[in-house]
């Protein structure tokens, strides 16, 4: 086994998770006490986006102040890039931080984890949206300053604490919750593909039964609670359905993807970032379309694909290239996206068959055609549905 990872060489299963996960309405008020339980009493550097500061500055001052935990806040620059990570590292050294806290969306949390790695410090993740499964993971996605995917940065362990305040998440733009469901939508299908192919998960081992079941539960929760959660989020309300979808987007998807494995859907996302037209689309929106591409590529049953299309349209996820800004995508551009999605090391190679550029390019267009046909079908059915008010007897 010389030169090999023993876990990989021995075919070991590996499951990973954050040390502590806390979720609920006004959970931020417990931040100081939860950090104390883990022996993390500062000084803290909180890397935060503006929306996090707007909602949580006063809460941090109270909960951390009451426990005499010193902290400083660093304003996130907007992109998880090497330059932003380096700026965060310098700030952490300047304030003498012994623990990093990320408060914001996925890119903020990715940056906080990367700074913590550079300084070998513990880290807590406090997402203010449920837009991705990033909070629980032991990796960061690194982009160029212009938002083009560059690489994934892997860590030795998962965050020490993930604290999810659903009151804050309910106030976030509804689009972020929907995008998180798009990211979570891929979890079950990617984990199942990697498991069928006996491919390694994100931490270098084979998948456990627990990871596969969590991934399945993630998908089932989306179908059951997604529409209700969106309705609650539109009103800024915390309901049981919203709590369950936040858990699916954050914990179930986070554990499912990392310990289950990734496949085509996330590789398609990475390929799509090559197209400037997609840069204003969220990670989960592109992953959702990538899930359709994966299902087409795998030759899945029409009933399953229709179920995914129905869910996506019901909650507001994109199912066509037009919705991603690529209505006029040429075959040459599609081939470029496919080539990027199939670069060495990409998770598209975790499928139980060889994925070619030609097959992936065609699957992009086929998924788009199915999405357009489904939308047209729904529109036709809606146009012939009787108006219940007009039809009611007088």
CA 306 to CA 328: how far, in whole Å?
A: 24
Residue 374 belongs to what H/E stretch? helix 357-384
Cα distances from 389 to residues 245, 247, 385, 386, 392, in angstroms, run: 33, 38, 12, 9, 5
Q: Which of 55, 165, 266, 368 is catalytic?
A: 266
283 is catalytic: yes
- In angstroms, the CA 142 to CA 253 distance is 20
Instruction: Let me know the angle formed at the C-alpha of 125 by 120 and 126, rounded to the nearest 5 degrees.
Output: 150
Could you say which of 183, 195, 225, 368 is catalytic? 183
Nearest to 316 by CA among 216, 189, 173, 181: 181
361 and 339 in contact (C-beta within 8 Å)? Answer: no
CB 102 within 8 A of CB 18: no
SS3 326: coil
Catalytic residue among 55, 195, 225, 283: 283
Residue 10: Cβ-neighbour burial (10 angstroms; 0-12, 13-18, 19+): exposed
Contact 103, 135 (CB under 8 A): no
Asked whether 84 and 53 are in contact (CB, 8 A), the reply is no
First to last CA, the chain: 81
Is residue 183 flagged as an active site residue?
yes
- Residue 349: active-site member: no
**What's the DSSP call for residue 250?**
I
Out of 133, 165, 225, 269, pick the active-site residue: 269
In angstroms, the Cα distances linking 59 to 13, 23, 29, 50, 52 are 41, 16, 6, 15, 11
In angstroms, the CA 219 to CA 225 distance is 10
Query: Tokens in use for 233?
Result: 């989020």
Distance separating alpha carbons of residues 224 and 33, to the nearest angstrom: 34
Two structure tokens written together for 191? 């984990």
Q: How far apart are CA 78 and CA 75, in angstroms?
A: 9
Segment (H or E) for 153: strand 149-154
- Longest Cα–Cα distance of the chain, Å, equals 83
Active site residue 362: no
Which residues carry out catalysis? 183, 266, 269, 283
């Amino acid at each position: 086994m010389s030169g090999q990872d023993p876990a990989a060489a021995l075919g070991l299963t590996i499951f990973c998770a954050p040390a502590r996960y806390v979720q609920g309405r006004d959970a931020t008020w417990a931040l100081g006490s939860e950090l104390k339980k883990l022996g993390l009493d500062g000084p803290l550097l909180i890397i935060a986006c503006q929306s996090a500061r707007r909602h949580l500055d006063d809460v941090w001052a109270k909960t951390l102040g009451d426990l005499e935990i010193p902290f400083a806040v660093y304003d996130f620059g907007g992109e998880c890039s090497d330059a932003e990570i380096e700026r965060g590292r310098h700030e952490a050294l300047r304030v003498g931080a012994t623990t990093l806290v990320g408060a914001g969306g996925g890119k903020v949390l990715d940056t906080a984890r990367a700074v913590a790695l550079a300084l070998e410090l513990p880290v807590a993740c406090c997402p203010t949206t449920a837009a991705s499964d990033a909070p629980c993971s032991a990796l960061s996605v690194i982009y160029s300053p212009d938002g083009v995917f560059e690489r994934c940065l892997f860590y030795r362990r998962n965050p020490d604490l993930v604290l999810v305040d659903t009151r804050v998440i309910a106030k976030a733009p509804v689009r972020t919750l929907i995008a998180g469901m798009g990211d979570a939508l891929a979890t079950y299908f990617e984990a199942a593909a990697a498991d069928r192919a006996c491919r390694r998960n994100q931490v270098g081992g084979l998948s456990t039964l627990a990871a596969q079941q969590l991934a399945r539960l993630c998908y089932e929760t989306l179908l059951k609670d997604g529409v209700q959660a969106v309705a609650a989020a539109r009103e800024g309300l915390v309901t049981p359905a919203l709590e369950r979808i936040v858990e699916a987007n954050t914990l179930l998807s986070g554990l499912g993807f990392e310990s289950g494995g990734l496949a085509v859907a996330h590789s398609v996302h990475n390929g799509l970032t090559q197209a400037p037209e997609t840069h204003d689309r969220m990670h989960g929106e592109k992953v959702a379309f990538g899930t359709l591409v994966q299902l087409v590529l795998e030759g899945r049953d029409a009933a399953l694909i229709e179920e995914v299309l129905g869910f996506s349209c019901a909650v507001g996820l994109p199912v066509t290239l037009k919705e991603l800004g690529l209505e006029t995508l040429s075959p040459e551009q599609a081939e470029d996206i496919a080539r990027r999605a199939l670069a060495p090391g990409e998770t598209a190679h975790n499928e139980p068959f060889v994925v070619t550029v030609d097959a992936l390019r065609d699957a992009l267009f086929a998924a788009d055609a199915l999405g357009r046909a489904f939308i047209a079908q729904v529109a036709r059915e809606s146009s012939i549905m009787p108006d219940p008010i007009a039809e009611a007897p007088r």
